[in-house]
Structure 1
Amino acid sequence: MSSYLAQEVHLARRHEEILSQRSELLQQMETYLGDKKTKKTWQTQAADAAHKRNAALLNDIEAAEKKLQERVHLHPHPNTVKLEMSPCAAEQDSTGCKVPR
């Protein structure tokens, strides 16, 4: 009978050890999942911020491009004006010939 009692005490201790290990593993798992969730949240926020920065930069670039194109149409390069006025003028000027104006 004492061997049954000794086995019962041994099993009770082993059961407590297992429960303690289980509790520790559950806590580690909760910590891991919490860290993982926090990391994912941080990554999502970083990606959203990067997307907003990229969209703002793209808008700035498009605005600058539009402004430059408007400026080119308002003030064309002098050589462009010269060619539009007289397509032969540039050719004759490069050969040294004078074009009557």
Structure 2
Amino acid sequence: MNVNFEYDDVKASNRLEIMAAEKLQKLVDKFDFIVSADVFFKKENTADPNTGLICNIRLSTPGSTLFALASHANFETSIADSVSDLNRQLEKRKAKLKMRY
């Protein structure tokens, strides 16, 4: 699977890329129909100190694209939250695929 990383107002980080890639690899191991992933890291000024570091993940699968967004005080939590959301979406997608066949 190909993973693309993009940064908006954030310095590129190998640590964040490795963490995101490891979590995404767990999804790929569980759901073999994932084609590629785009991971976006963004810093946003907010009044709430518990938000502002955003991780968006877009997964390409046959027939559709899945998307998750999380904003927390650190990127690690945002990555974990986005991957958790995608896992739920993939479970639903897999259930629909099984019902069709």
Q: TM-score range by the shorter chain?
A: under 0.3
Larger helix percent: 1
Give me the TM-score of the superposition, normalised by structure 1.
0.27
Larger strand percent: 2
Give me the TM-score of the superposition, normalised by structure 2.
0.27
User: Greater relative contact order: 1 or 2 (C-alpha under 8 angstroms, separation 6 or more)?
Assistant: 2
